Amino acid sequence: MIILIGQKLITLPTISKCSTWNILVIIYNSEKYGVKSIVFLVFLGCFATGCRSFDPNPELQDPIYKDLTTIMSDKKRIVEDRERHLELSMEEMRKARHKPAEYSEKRNTYLKAIDDLARARQEQKFFEIRAESRMIWIRKEYYKAFKAGEDYVFGGKNYEYYLQNKELQDAPRMWLRGSAAASQ
């Protein structure tokens, strides 16, 4: 923040997002205004009433959006690994083209690598779309709450439901029957 005191330009670091707060801190620290008690009372009044400013990126505070972007970056890394694996399996298949038994095995590995890459790309795209839709939804809900003068609560019940759903999706889907189930 750059301010003009007298004929000097002074650069001060921004203390918070609230411009009222920053101005009061600057006035309180300024030697030109000696009536610190009045400034302190004004400051106390402003602090008590609070300073609301609109957050242009509320999704950055949302735990679900943070988790989705983390998963999305993990999926991107997986896609890059699968692309490298596909290139390696293609090279191995080319090297083994004159050996029929080995070529068949390498070709199957190559075809499996193609399927794995396609699935990884689908998962990456799914989480990109899901994160983008979450971002849009959070911005709408935050704007509604801001217009109504309410505080928007990030997480809450939605986050609990999200965690339960995520736990169920990540759970193993193999069910044991008979004696194998009894032993565990």
> How many whole angstroms separate alpha carbon 174 and alpha carbon 170?
12
Picking from 70, 63, 54, the residue whose alpha carbon sits closest to that of residue 146 is 54
pLDDT at 113 over 90: yes
Predicted structure pTM score: 0.64
35-49, 57-71, 148-162, 163-177, range with greatest mean pLDDT:
57-71
Q: What are phi and psi of 3, to 5 degrees?
A: -125, 160
Give pLDDT, residue 95.
92
How large a percentage of the chain has pLDDT more than 90?
A: 50
Q: Are 151 and 102 in contact (CB under 8 A)?
A: no
Give pLDDT, residue 65.
95
**Contact residues for 151 (Cβ-Cβ < 8 A; gap 6+):** 145
Residue 134 in tokens: 């979450």
Query: What is the pLDDT confidence band of residue 101, given thresholds at 50, 70 and 90?
Result: confident
Query: What is the pLDDT confidence band of residue 23, given thresholds at 50, 70 and 90?
Result: low
For 50-155, where are the alpha helices, taking DSSP H only? 63-95, 100-148
Residue at token pair 């935050």:
142
pLDDT at 168 over 70: yes
Give pLDDT, residue 172.
86
Residue 118 in tokens: 């396609």
pLDDT at 1 over 70: no
**Taking all residues of the chain, what is their mean pLDDT, rounded to a whole number?**
81
- Domain ranges, ordered by start, for the chain: 2-49, 58-165
Count of all residues that appear for the chain in the document: 184
Separation of first and last alpha carbons in the chain: 64
| Angle, alpha carbons 23-24-27 (nearest 5°) | 85
> How many whole angstroms separate alpha carbon 146 and alpha carbon 143?
5
Tell me the residue ranges of DSSP E strands in the chain: 2-5, 8-11
Q: What is the pLDDT of residues 48-85, one digit of tens each?
A: 555 668 888 899 999 999 999 999 999 999 999 999 99
